[in-house]
Amino acid sequence: MKRQLWILVVLMVVMSLVLSACAGGGVGTIKIAILVPLSGDVKTFGESTMNGAMMAIEEAKAKGMKIEVVSGDSKCDAQEAANAANKVISQDKVKYIIGEVCSSASIPISLIVNQNKVLQISPTSTNPGVTVNEDGSVKPYTFRACFLDPFQGEVGASLAMELGAKKAAVLFDVGNDYVKDLATYFKAAFEKKGGQVPVYEAYTKDDTDFSAILGKVAVANVDVMYLPDYYPKVNLIAAQAKEKGIKAIMMGGDGWDSPELKLDLLEGCYFSNHYSPDDPRPEVQNFVSAYKAKYGSVPDALATLAYDAANILLQSIKDAGKNDPTVVKDKMAAIQFKGVSGDISFDKNHDPIKKAAIIKIQGGKTTFYKFVAP
C-alpha cells in the first residue's frame, strides 16, 4: 500500500514536470538581456527602448512564452557596454541581447556576442560597423532593426536639395561614430548633388562654447545647417545660433527624437526618423494606443524600434522552435516581418530594408512631413 502511494507521488511529480515543460512550447525559459543607457546624457533613449522592448516581451508572456529579462545600464559608452555584455553572458548565462542604443556601444557588444555565440539585435544603432566586420564580412550573430547612418545622411542631403539649399554647414561631434557618419555621408551626397559645404566643423562631447564655430557659419551665410547630434547638443547649439543671428534651416537625424528637444528654438526645422505616430497604418495606430495606455505617452522612434526588435527576436525563436542562438540566427536572417516601423526583411549585411520618415517642427509641434525611400 505504502509502496503504491510512493509510486503515485513520483508519477505525479514526473507528470507535472513534463506538463510544465510543454507549456513553454518546447523552448523552455528564454533569457534575454536588455542593455541600454539608463543614466547620462541620453538616458531618455534608454528608457524608451526599455519600455518598447518590455511591451513586446510582456505581450509574448501573455501568450504563454516563458521569458526572463536581465537589464543593464551600458551608458552609451564603449567600455561600460563591453563590461555589461561580459557580465550578462558569463554571470547571467543570457543567450539573447537586445541593445545597445548608441552605435559606439553596440560595436563592442557585437564583438563579444560573436565570440560567445550569443544573438544580438540592436534596435537603433545605425553605424555600418555594428553588423559588419572591418574586413567587410558580416557578423553572424548581430542584427539591427533600424536603417543606417549613410542612408540617413543621404536622405538629409536630398531633403536639403528639395528645400532649395545651395550652401550647407555641417557640425559634428568628432568622438561619436554615429554623428560623424551622418555628417560624412550628408556632405558627400550634398556635394555630389551640386551643393557646397563651406563650413564642416568638428567639436568634442564636452564643448559648450560654440561661438567661434557659429561665427564661421554666420559669415558663410549658409541655407542649411546640418546638426546630426543628439538632442542635448542640438538644444545647446540652437540656443547659441539664435544669438549669432543665424537664419539657416537646421536639420538633423533621429538623434533629435526626444521630448526634451527645445521645439521653440527649432521652429521650421526638419529631421529624419524611423517612424511617425501620425502614420495611418493599423500596426502603427494599435501600437501607439497600447503604448499610451501602458506608459501614458506617445511612443518615440526608439520605443517603436525596440518593440519591433524584440518582436523580431521572439518571432525568430518561435520559428526556430529551439532555445539555441545558432538556429535562431538563421531564422532571423530569413524573416519577413510586418513591424510598426515598416515591413522588415534583412539583407546580406543583416541590415533591414525599409523607408525613412521626415518630421517637420511646426507651430511648436513635431509633424509628419513625408516618406523618403532609399
Residues binding other proteins (CB under 8 A): 39-41, 43, 174, 201-204, 206-213, 215-216, 218-219, 232-233, 235-236, 239-240, 242-245, 260, 262
Looking at the Cβ atoms of 215 and 268, the one nearer to other proteins is 215
Minimum gap (Å) between residue 359 Cβ and other proteins: 20
User: Shortest gap between Cβ of 232 and other proteins (angstroms)?
Assistant: 4
Find how far residue 279's CA is from the centre of its chain: 19
Residue 169: closest CA among 203, 239, 233, 218: 218
Q: Three cell numbers at 83? A: 563590461
Residue nearer to other proteins on the CB measure, 138 or 202: 202
Whether a cis peptide bond, with omega within 30° of 0, leads into 191 is no
| Shortest separation between residue 71's beta carbon and other proteins, angstroms | 16
Closest CB to other proteins among residues 44, 341: 44
Nearer to other proteins, 41 or 279 (CB): 41
> Which CB sits closer to other proteins, 37 or 153?
37
To which H or E segment does residue 250 belong? strand 249-252
Distances (CA, A) of 131 to 81, 244, 298: 16, 41, 30
- To other proteins, the closest distance from the beta carbon of 228 in angstroms equals 16
| Closer residue to other proteins (CB): 161 or 263 | 263
Orientation angle between helical segments 78-90 and 103-116, nearest 10 degrees: 30
First vs last Cα of the chain: how many Å apart? Answer: 76
Query: How many residues are there in the chain?
Result: 374
Return the closest-CA partner of residue 302 out of 363, 260, 249. 260
C-beta closer to other proteins: residue 265 or 309: 265
In the complex with other proteins, which residue's Cβ is closer, 134 or 260?
260
Backbone angle region of 25, left / alpha / beta, with phi > 0 → left and psi within -120 to 50 → alpha: left
Per the omega criterion (within 30 degrees of 0), is the bond before 100 cis?
Answer: yes
Q: Look up residue 163 and give its amino acid.
A: L
Provide the angle, in degrees to the nearest 10, between the axes of the packed helices 301-320 and 282-295: 110
Instruction: Calculate the CA 369 to chain-centre distance.
Output: 21
User: Are the beta carbons of 66 and 323 closer than 8 angstroms?
Assistant: no
Task: State the minimum distance, in angstroms, from the CB of residue 218 to other proteins.
Answer: 8
Q: Which residues pair with 339 in a beta bridge?
A: 342
CB of 85 to other proteins, least distance (A): 21
CB of 160 to other proteins, least distance (A): 23
In angstroms, give the least distance from the CB of 219 to other proteins: 6
User: How far apart are the C-alpha atoms of 221 and 218, rounded to whole Å?
Assistant: 5
10 Å CB burial of residue 87 (0-12, 13-18, 19+) is middle
Which is closer to other proteins, CB of 173 or CB of 181?
Answer: 173
Question: In whole angstroms, how close is the CB of 128 to other proteins at the nearest point?
Answer: 23
